[in-house]
Structure 1
């Protein structure tokens, strides 16, 4: 017989070396105390965390959702968050042409595009409790939003995508050889085995990917297309509504690929701001999106198209009318 949940131990133990979120970054830390009140489940335990290299006055009581195991994957994520935060806070904003692509601002210079919307400065370490209280008070007056960090190679893809369509009058070939639905399936197959079977981390992954697919299907025709692409979308929509077995019942996520998916991802900060998601859910979503973008950035040659197609002259004329 499986042991009852009451008899299970909390996932983190006293003196364990861990990584702990404080604000937008993760820091190396040590579990000093573990407290489980009578009647509480192990996952409801409270942990007193000591951040490595900081005085005891910075110690913090946190719940399980703020802590991560000290693994190579999580250390890589912490390093990436820190590097991208430093780049974001110190990146140059002057002297470069900035374009806006569906809610994301980025410089047109390759390899150094900076998202300008929602920029903020980052401290050199965890903040004191009073500072955190003030931040929560400010957050009370504005809905939670995602401060999303996108790898440079994906930013460059977004800029190339914008130029190919709006400047060169080209289109992403459809149906895409690697549609969004297949990309999300591939990522799930890659990421799921790295998480404990049946754990909440698997549930969060599944919910995030299902949410991405649903958001993509509902938002593509409304907010993700450039004007030049709308005639192409209208043609594709008619095929979805037809009795053609190749297209009947298909959706945007079965037809469009990562070029359009990235437009959704960089639009999510604005979309999430219009929801009633709490800060903990937003933090979880941000972490999942960072992991997904990191994976996608390592597989761009496999999933992104290498050539855009040039439509006939009558399409160009119709698209511009």
Structure 2
């Protein structure tokens, strides 16, 4: 007879080096205590985590879904997450103080966080790749502006499905997307503009935010928004953008990719903004605009997100995994 799951040991042990999610990022940590009650399922155990480079006051009790094994693959994922979050800061930084929980979106601990990995106008300058997955200096962290973007549950679920379809099922979003980012943003402008007083700063802010999203998307897609499995597809699309193919010639990422990839940018923006010289008032205004957009997109998700991903050839699958 197979042993009962209640009698099995928790998958992580005391003093084990691990990677642990805080918000949308994954950091090196150490398990300093394990709490597993008699008869409890192994996956229900709680772990006290110490984050490398941080004071003991930041130690935290977390559940299993926040933790990943300290493997080369998971370190690569952590690198990709850090890469999307780190931007070249310009000018002086400012913002409220806070710990690891104080910034980032509320997409914490979701499987959709894994493997996600911007310049642009009102959001700040362009990205740089993270050097490693280690925590930044605590003092530097406190100096960063922060926004907390609340992502509707419907969009969180789509992010998880997107992650599973690509990284687990070896599928791809069909391109060109039937509802590209450009179309979605135009639709949102058409929807939201009449709700604001004409010729006012509210309309200007809306237009600047949408223009910033589009520019960010175009400049970040190929750098930090793609899963590894999607890169051969992107390479093929990129060739078509500079070819004589009338369907693709002169197009940009926002003309070709859709809401699945736009959502990856949206949940990354809190960390991206934290690396800019944006003041807190502007960050708060941006948060309000992005929250409105996310709410609208969630209500219209069935109209924009694809209902079915495509399965590439075995040749593509092998190429993507090499």
Q: Same fold (TM over 0.5)?
A: yes
Partner of 2:88: none
Partner of 1:237: 238
Partner of 2:274: 273
Partner of 1:9: none
- Note the alpha carbon deviations across 1:33-83, whole angstroms, 9 max, x for none: xxxxxxxxxxxxxxxxxxxxxxxxxxxxxxxxxxxxxxxxxxxxxxxxxxx
- 2:111–2:163 Cα contact (<8 Å) kept: no
- 1:164–1:171 Cα contact (<8 Å) kept: yes
> 1:312 and 1:303, CA in 2 relative to 1: closer, same or farther beyond 3 A?
same
Distance 2:172 2:144 in 1: 36
- How far off is 1:168 after superposition? 0.4
Name the SS for the 2:179 alignment partner: coil
Q: Equivalences for 1:1-321 in 2 at 5 Å? A: 94-96=63-65, 106-108=108-110, 141-321=142-322
Root mean square deviation of aligned Cα: 2.4
> 1:315 and 1:258, CA in 2 relative to 1: closer, same or farther beyond 3 A?
same
Distance 1:265 1:305 in 2: 18
- 1:98–1:108 Cα contact (<8 Å) kept: no
> 1:109 and 1:251, CA in 2 relative to 1: closer, same or farther beyond 3 A?
closer
> 1:267 and 1:108, CA in 2 relative to 1: closer, same or farther beyond 3 A?
closer
Aligned length: 204
In structure 1, the gaps of 5 or more residues are 1-91, 114-137
- How far off is 1:147 after superposition? 0.9
- How far off is 1:94 after superposition? 2.0
In structure 2, the gaps of 5 or more residues are 1-60, 69-76, 86-104, 114-138
- How far off is 1:98 after superposition? 6.3
- How far off is 1:96 after superposition? 3.0
- How far off is 1:106 after superposition? 3.6
Distance 2:67 2:178 in 1: 31
Distance 1:198 1:147 in 2: 29
Name the SS for the 1:189 alignment partner: helix
Distance 1:268 1:109 in 2: 18
Distance 2:150 2:240 in 1: 36
Distance 1:139 1:279 in 2: 16
- How far off is 1:222 after superposition? 0.2
Name the SS for the 2:223 alignment partner: helix
Question: Which one has more relative contact order, counting CA pairs under 8 Å at least 6 apart?
Answer: 2
Distance 2:251 2:305 in 1: 20
Name the SS for the 2:250 alignment partner: coil
- Note the alpha carbon deviations across 1:241-264, whole angstroms, 9 max, x for none: 101121111000000000000000
Q: TM-score, normalised by structure 1?
A: 0.60
Name the SS for the 1:209 alignment partner: helix
Q: TM-score, normalised by structure 2?
A: 0.60
- How far off is 1:107 after superposition? 3.7
Partner of 1:8: none
- How far off is 1:274 after superposition? 1.5
Distance 2:261 2:251 in 1: 16
> 1:157 and 1:140, CA in 2 relative to 1: closer, same or farther beyond 3 A?
closer
Partner of 1:135: none
